Chains A and B, each alone.
Chain A
Amino acid sequence: MLAKPTQAVWSQLIIHAVFILITIVMLVPFALVIIISFSDEQSILHNGFRLIPDQFSAKAYHYFLKTPDTILRAYGVTIIVAVIGTCISLILTSTMGYVLSRKDYGLQRATSFYVFFTMLFNGGLVPFYILVTQILHLKNSIWALIIPGLLSPFYVLIMKGFMSKIPTEIIESAKVEGAREWRIYMKMILPLSKPALATLGLFILFNYWNEWFNALLFINNEQLVPLQLLLVRTMNTLDFITSRPEFATAMVSLNVDMGDFPKTSAKFAVAVLSAGPMLLVFPFFQRFFVKGLTIGAIKG
């Protein structure tokens, strides 16, 4: 009898050791990027990237705080796109999900096929590119960042699954009282679907926040560069930020020579400034992300 608890304690210790190791592996890359952004340029040149640099320095951030225009503008574009996109997307997803959840709807099967066929087959990148640029004329428009991600059949499927669980008696009795369909949708279905709306809303917001593909394809205008594209552009060179006239003026007013500009640490500082804030927010909602998969208990 005595041997058993010790064995359990041992296995607990081993499991914890495994998880502590995993946690370190997961966190060290984050730590490394943050530390590089706070490293002194000279010590990077001498020793490369280290978890403990010879000398810390917040110089890289200093420059960006003096000339925050480019980064703030990118934040602005991303926030506008994410908020507008999420709102419209939720309207489209919930109306479609609701209509598909109504088994008494005469076109339910046809509409279902119409929506989900797009999951099976698509025209591919080229026709999509030509559609957006040549037919919709959205090149260098903020709508090129919003419109392509508005409706995902997969989210419709989840929404439909959730709404199918709303008892039909509620809808029936409202109809007996003479309520119109759009009223039932607005006054009853939407309030009852709050958990699904919140979860999917978070998913959609997150997708818009991390979206770079459409920006890469359609945005050349410097005024419309969202955060992720800013990061793409600063990956190989910082020119995108440092060649702006505001930056040069700020350099002069700070009385520094461009040669002293900490190129390497600044690059990583841009990454930290862009990804950091969201990384502090999203993990709080992590359970929603997992719940999103099970909420509709998907079945087409």
Chain B
Amino acid sequence: MKRKKAFRFFGRNIELFTLSLPAVIYIFIMSYIPMFGVVIAFKNYRYDKGILGSEWIGFKNFEFLFKTETALRITRNTVLYNLGYMALTTIAALTVAILLNEIAKKWLKVYQTALILPFFLSWVVMSYITLAFLDHDNGFINSWLASAGMEKIQWYFEAKYWPYILNIVHLWKAIGFSAMVYYAGILGIDGELYEAARIDGAKRMQMVTNITIPQLTPLIIILLILSIGNMFRGDFGLHYFIPNNNGMTFATTDIIDTYIYRALSEIADVSMASAVGLYQSFVGFVLVVVANFTVRRFNEDNSLF
């Protein structure tokens, strides 16, 4: 009886299962096998001995990591930068989206295109643009400073400027796409709400504060919570290419992701890189689950899973 049932289940689902098989195998190889690789964090990994052959050392890698100042520095940088990007981009993009909604269609397209253009650049290309501005000898800003009779600044060597530079560069690249998302949200608001407000004699500004922003709130909150879930995942490209991987500015530019990359490719300390990676994955996992739980309590339809 049971076997017959199992057989029927098999027969009914085998075709769809086969259809999903390539993707299932792909995910197994690319995502699940590496999950077992986290054991490297508890070993003294050597290429010649392989994962299984390397010696177990327990939590030594983590002990070492948290004894140095590095762990604190990269965690603080990662979280603070993400908070900064989140706040700046949300406020700026919302403002732009609300203003876009106020202007005539024919101009809209021009502004939209200009806004979204940087979105299509990779961080590598972006690093050329920042170099054009910040290069010590020839940079746009320095040659302007020089012609104004001021001292040139060694941008790539001074850590104190980088929090501003990175936030500005990030905003410049991200504002367009983010504004489009909010603008699409505004277009989705029921037009009758505005019509009714107009009949009641509401001013433009009142419509923004009483209709547009409250109607967008769910979207804003979802996007915010999603980015809180990603608080531990830094933007490698931004923090690696824009400061040009310069050791002089690591105090304010180094994040978890760039540290792991350097530990792996430059110092070749595989176990340490893996320990930092596991630390990042684990805290990231907790944050995503907590964030999703929060969304679900707030509004079930908007939770991710």
Task: Using CB atoms and an 8 Å cutoff, list the residues of chain A in contact with chain B.
Answer: 11-12, 15-16, 18-19, 22-23, 25-27, 29-30, 32-33, 36, 44-45, 47-51, 91-93, 95-96, 98-100, 102, 105-107, 111, 114-116, 118-131, 134-136, 147-148, 150-151, 156, 180-182, 185, 206, 210-213, 217, 228, 231-232, 235-236, 264, 267-268, 271, 274-275, 278-279, 282-283, 286, 289-290, 293-294, 298-300
In the bound complex, residues from chain B placing their C-beta under 8 Å from that of A236 are 244
Known: A48-B143, A217-B265. A123 touches B288 (CB 8 A): no
Known: A29-B172, A121-B281, A181-B15. A268 touches B128 (CB 8 A): yes
Q: Is the CB of B260 within 8 A of A115?
A: no
Q: Is the CB of B184 within 8 A of A228?
A: no
Sample 12 A-B pairs with CB under 8 A, ordered by A number. Answer: A23-B110, A29-B133, A32-B140, A48-B142, A48-B146, A98-B19, A106-B13, A118-B31, A130-B40, A151-B27, A275-B125, A286-B180
Does B261 interact with chain A (Cβ within 8 Å)?
A: yes
Give, as a whole number of angstroms, the nearest-CB distance from A189 to chain B.
10
Q: Is the CB of B15 within 8 A of A115?
A: no
Q: Is the CB of A124 within 8 A of B129?
A: no
Does B238 interact with chain A (Cβ within 8 Å)?
A: no
**Cβ < 8 Å to A, chain B residues 33-91:** 33-38, 40, 47, 50-51
Q: Is the CB of A32 within 8 A of B114?
A: no
Q: Is the CB of A120 within 8 A of B19?
A: no
Give, as a whole number of angstroms, the nearest-CB distance from A227 to chain B.
9
Known: A49-B143, A114-B24, A293-B181. A30 touches B274 (CB 8 A): no
Q: Is the CB of B285 within 8 A of A29?
A: no
In the bound complex, residues from chain B placing their C-beta under 8 Å from that of A210 are 120-122
Does B99 interact with chain A (Cβ within 8 Å)?
A: yes
Taken residue by residue from 7 to 26, chain B's Cβ proximity to chain A (1 for < 8 Å, 0 otherwise) reads as 00100110111111011101
Taken residue by residue from 168 to 193, chain B's Cβ proximity to chain A (1 for < 8 Å, 0 otherwise) reads as 00001000110011001000000000
Interface residue from B35, B111, B277 paired with A23 (Cβ < 8 Å):
B111
- How many Å lie between the Cα of A293 and that of B181 in the bound state? 8
- How many Å lie between the Cα of A223 and that of B183 in the bound state? 44
Q: Is the CB of B17 within 8 A of A126?
A: no
Q: Which residue of A lies closest to B140 (CB)?
A: A49
- How many Å lie between the Cα of A22 and that of B108 in the bound state? 13
Give the interface centre of B13, B127, B278 by most chain A CB atoms within 10 Å: B13
**Cβ < 8 Å to A, chain B residues 269-303:** 270, 273-274, 277-278, 280-281, 284-285, 288-289, 301, 303
In the bound complex, residues from chain B placing their C-beta under 8 Å from that of A50 are 140, 143
Q: Is the CB of B117 within 8 A of A283?
A: yes
Q: Which residue of B lies closest to A293 (CB)?
A: B181
Taken residue by residue from 93 to 118, chain B's Cβ proximity to chain A (1 for < 8 Å, 0 otherwise) reads as 00010010011000100111111111
Q: Is the CB of A268 within 8 A of B132?
A: yes
- How many Å lie between the Cα of A36 and that of B18 in the bound state? 55
Does B264 interact with chain A (Cβ within 8 Å)?
A: yes
- How many Å lie between the Cα of A129 and that of B37 in the bound state? 10
Q: Which residue of A lies closest to B23 (CB)?
A: A96
**Cβ < 8 Å to A, chain B residues 217-262:** 236-237, 241, 244, 257, 260-261
Task: Using CB atoms and an 8 Å cutoff, list the residues of chain B in contact with chain A.
Answer: 9, 12-13, 15-20, 22-24, 26-27, 29-38, 40, 47, 50-51, 96, 99, 102-103, 107, 110-125, 127-129, 131-133, 135, 137-140, 142-143, 146-147, 172, 176-177, 180-181, 184, 204, 236-237, 241, 244, 257, 260-261, 264-265, 270, 273-274, 277-278, 280-281, 284-285, 288-289, 301, 303-305
In the bound complex, residues from chain B placing their C-beta under 8 Å from that of A283 are 113, 116-117, 120
Q: Is the CB of B20 within 8 A of A99?
A: yes
Give the interface centre of B16, B19, B140 by most chain A CB atoms within 10 Å: B16
Q: Chain A contact residues: over half helix, strand or loop, or mixed?
A: helix
- How many Å lie between the Cα of A142 and that of B35 in the bound state? 24
Q: Is the CB of A182 within 8 A of B133?
A: no
Known: A131-B37, A228-B122, A283-B116. A111 touches B264 (CB 8 A): no
Interface residue from B123, B184, B261 paired with A290 (Cβ < 8 Å):
B184
Give, as a whole number of angstroms, the nearest-CB distance from B23 to chain A.
4
Give, as a whole number of angstroms, the nearest-CB distance from B292 to chain A.
9
In the bound complex, residues from chain A placing their C-beta under 8 Å from that of B107 are 16, 19
Q: Is the CB of A121 within 8 A of B143?
A: no
In the bound complex, residues from chain B placing their C-beta under 8 Å from that of A156 are 23
Q: Which residue of A lies closest to B121 (CB)?
A: A275
Give, as a whole number of angstroms, the nearest-CB distance from A164 to chain B.
14
Q: Is the CB of A48 within 8 A of B138?
A: yes
Sample of 18 more A-B contacts, CB < 8 Å, known A123-B281, A125-B264, A127-B38? A29-B133, A48-B140, A48-B143, A50-B143, A107-B16, A115-B23, A122-B35, A124-B260, A125-B257, A125-B260, A126-B260, A127-B33, A127-B36, A130-B37, A136-B29, A180-B15, A210-B121, A286-B112
- How many Å lie between the Cα of A275 and that of B138 in the bound state? 22
Q: Which residue of A lies closest to B12 (CB)?
A: A106
In the bound complex, residues from chain B placing their C-beta under 8 Å from that of A298 are 304
- How many Å lie between the Cα of A22 and that of B179 in the bound state? 13
- How many Å lie between the Cα of A208 and that of B117 in the bound state? 18
Give, as a whole number of angstroms, the nearest-CB distance from B194 to chain A.
15
Q: Is the CB of B139 within 8 A of A49?
A: yes
In the bound complex, residues from chain A placing their C-beta under 8 Å from that of B305 are 116, 300
Q: Is the CB of B172 within 8 A of A19?
A: no
- How many Å lie between the Cα of A120 and that of B115 in the bound state? 32
Q: Is the CB of A49 within 8 A of B278?
A: no
- How many Å lie between the Cα of A228 and that of B241 in the bound state? 12
In the bound complex, residues from chain B placing their C-beta under 8 Å from that of A121 are 35, 281, 284-285
